[in-house]
Amino acid sequence: MRFNSYVVELKHRETSLTGSVLIAGNIVSANFKKIAQNLFVAQFKNQVECSFLEKIELKNRDKEIMVLLPVLSKYNKRKLTKLSKMLNKPEGREKINILFNLTTIDKFVKIGELLHFFSIGRGKVIELLVEKELQKKIKIINFSQLVVTSYENYQKYIEQLNSILTERYTNGNQVLKFSEIESKIKLPQSSLFFKYLIHTFTNRFSFKIKKDKIVFRKLALSKNEKESMVEVLEILKKNKFSIFSIENVLELSDLSYKEVNDALWFLVESGEVVQLNANYFIFRNELNKILNRLRKYKRNQGEMIDIQAFRELTLFTRKYIIILFEYFDSQEITRRIENQRQILLGA
């Protein structure tokens, strides 16, 4: 694998210099910056491929360079100091030691990218990684890329996330956005490790992962919550609401917004009600009836359907038909083609 920069051993009194080196038969220019005694970072304009302990001639200076390690990330002064100390220890230049010691410098290390550089077999490295994980020295995040972190770093994130989830869960909040977690633990939600951490807690806490947020399942309903839910169901069934909103219930009851919202949320979690969008819901059995009608329509009249045909099929108004079509599109039940929908359900 090619890299733009390498940590190299070079005996030179200057703190920085530019020179030409011979790599794989090609002469290339490099800038050298000292990071410790006899240790430099060699920066190349284009990526070059070197191997561990490869010796390279610094042209016109009668100097020999020994390649020690690719530069894997942006190293600040603190990281460079730790890296230098690591490489200057007697055992610090052993391949395996370098691989594991890197987790004390970078939070996350993609060991898979270093196998070719160190000429180490993947199978052997996996055995060593598993052994180190059992000893609670590292944590393997991803086996395909062999991404690892120190066990200390892993524990720190686990403790932070546990604290956040516990606080939110015990306070009865139903939703926790990934952006909130990201800002608190300082870990990008797009990262593989972020997703790994979230999934670690799926058994410890009762929640579902929905796109960019966690939705907690409620604990057992209190007596008042049960009474509110019964009242909500009675109102909906008495008024023959198939598709409905929180406002529909509020207009016909003395319940508070929170009471209605909590009741509907529990009905959604139990599967009795399906949320169509931010405002509207539908009973599950009613939705299933509509889906069966769509299948029958597809068998008998073809896979394309428009608003008028759907109105005849369900007797819904245009407003609710559009809400349903948009939900069906999002669930890949239908696909919009101009002013019609293609039914994707199996007939």
Can you list the alpha helix ranges (DSSP code H) found in 186-306?
192-200, 223-238, 246-251, 257-270, 284-301
Rounded Cα distance, 38 and 34, in Å: 8
Rounded Cα distance, 148 and 135, in Å: 14
Per-residue pLDDT of the chain in tens (347 residues, 90 and over written 9): 899 999 999 998 899 999 999 888 889 999 999 999 899 999 999 999 999 999 998 887 778 899 999 998 888 888 888 889 888 887 878 888 898 889 989 888 999 999 999 999 999 899 999 998 888 899 998 888 899 999 999 999 999 998 898 887 766 667 899 999 999 998 898 888 898 889 888 766 778 888 888 887 665 567 787 888 889 999 988 888 889 999 999 999 888 888 888 888 778 877 788 989 888 999 999 999 999 999 999 999 999 999 999 999 999 999 999 999 999 988 889 999 988 999 998 76
Q: What SS3 class is residue 223?
A: helix
DSSP string, 172-191: T--EEEHHHHHHHHT--TTS
Task: Confirm whether pTM is higher than 0.95.
Answer: no
Can you list the alpha helix ranges (DSSP code H) found in the chain?
77-88, 95-101, 115-118, 122-134, 151-170, 178-185, 192-200, 223-238, 246-251, 257-270, 284-301, 307-314, 318-330
Tokens at 213, concatenated: 């947020």
Q: 180 near 186, Cβ under 8 Å?
A: no
| Buried b or exposed e, range 210-247, using 16+ CB within 10 angstroms | eeebbebeeeeeeeeeeebbebbbebbeeeebbbbbbe
- The yes or no reply on domain 285-343 and CATH 1.10.10.10 is yes
Q: 306 near 298, Cβ under 8 Å?
A: no
Rounded Cα distance, 111 and 126, in Å: 10
Q: What SS3 class is residue 20?
A: strand
Q: In terms of C-beta density within 10 A (0-12 exposed, 13-18 middle, 19 or more buried), how is residue 40 classed?
A: buried
Q: CA dist 125 to 74, 116, 152, 193, 200, Å?
A: 25, 12, 21, 20, 24
Sorted by sequence, the CB contacts under 8 Å of residue 301 that are 6+ apart come out as 309
pLDDT of residue 54: 94
pLDDT of residue 321: 93
Number of other CB atoms surrounding residue 208 within 10 Å: 11
Tokens at 62, concatenated: 């009668």
pLDDT of residue 219: 55
Tens-place pLDDT, residues 179-226: 999 999 988 988 888 988 898 887 667 788 888 888 876 655 677 878
Tokens at 91, concatenated: 């055992």
In the chain, what's the furthest Cα-to-Cα distance? 94
